[in-house]
A = this chain, B = another copy of it.
Amino acid sequence: MAKVSMREVADRAGVSVGTVSHVVNGSSRVAASTARKVNEAIDELGFVRNAAARQLRSGHSSSLGLVVLDTSNPFFASVAHGARQACDEAGLSLLIGDSGTDEVRESKYVDLFAEQRVNGLLVTPTGSDLSQLESVAGRGTPVMLVDRASRGYALSSVTVDNVAGGRMALDHILAGGCTRPAFIGGPQSLPQVADRLLGARGRAEESGLELPVFGTEELTILAGRNAGEKVVALPDGERPDAVFCANDLLAVGFMQAVLMFSDLRIPDDIAIVGYDDIDYAFSTIVPLTSVRQPAELLGRTAVETLLQENASVSHEHHDREFTPELVVRGSTRPI
């Protein structure tokens, strides 16, 4: 119950501390009879190895830190899941910190993990200033940006091409014959949002169209519903005939507003495209067309790339970018 160290185990089993260590770590050549004696002593005394001492001596931590924006967003839940799997396979444990888009908390977790001497740190940063991360990386903790490009900072990153995704969404909307598209989303300080808009607007302008923006404060269902209420209240001539939402939560909320507060039909009167393709997108009453991001793969690749970079001698930074994929469902006209 109290303090049981290898010392006590060794005494009880009548061997030296070194031998106990060997037994506990399985590996080394220890006589079967000795191993048995030691294991009995361990059970009898209820010995639990002290990870702090182990790590202090060995210098390793065998864990990775992940700091995400928001665990309750299904997209990040998937990223975490993929990262977890990759860690399992590498025999590492994954410690998760949830910043809740709070820069202070994010910073706290980054420091905590650095002190913990994690083998690496995966971060989706909230703000635009990445200098803390750069400095942490400089002090010996490898950092990998997740879902955020390294633009100008000496950091590695794994991202999905948001500009291409935005373009895809608009491409599909225009191919369906819509002529008055709009963008729903915000805040534009999030690069994810800004880039999706950039790609979408670029494509719209190629067809000689404007792309009006209905801004939101957050990327939540409620924000989407509020935006939807405004849109459906517009007179027929001014109302968009298609909206591209910066993420699926917005799209779900928007759809609710359309169904609750108007007689507009989806997709005939108004088409809706979301982003992320979260599991719930498939579960809305009018199944949602969405730009799918390979969320689990993103998490998995972030871990794997980080481990690779750790293993290699050269300390280059890599920027890995995935391409999103359009998933067409009932909320838009097919082709």
Contacts and interface: CB of A to CB of B under 8 A. Distances in A.
B221 A51 contact: no
Interface string A121-144: 000000000000001001111000
Contacts of A221: 279-280, 283
B84 A114 contact: no
A299 interface: no
Interface of A is mostly: helix
A53 interface: yes
Number of copies: 2
Given A1-B140, A77-B72, A77-B77, A115 B51 contact: yes
Contacts of A252: 283
Contacts of A95: 95-96
Contact of A71 (B46, B71, B112): B71
A11 to B, nearest CB: 18
Interface string A75-98: 001101100100010000101111
Interface of A: 1-2, 4, 46, 48-56, 61, 71-72, 74, 77-78, 80-81, 84, 88, 93, 95-98, 105, 109, 112, 114-117, 135, 138-141, 221, 252-253, 256, 259, 279-280, 283-285
- What 10 A-B pairs are tightest by C-beta distance, nearest first? A285-B285, A52-B55, A52-B56, A51-B115, A46-B139, A72-B77, A52-B52, A96-B96, A51-B116, A53-B56
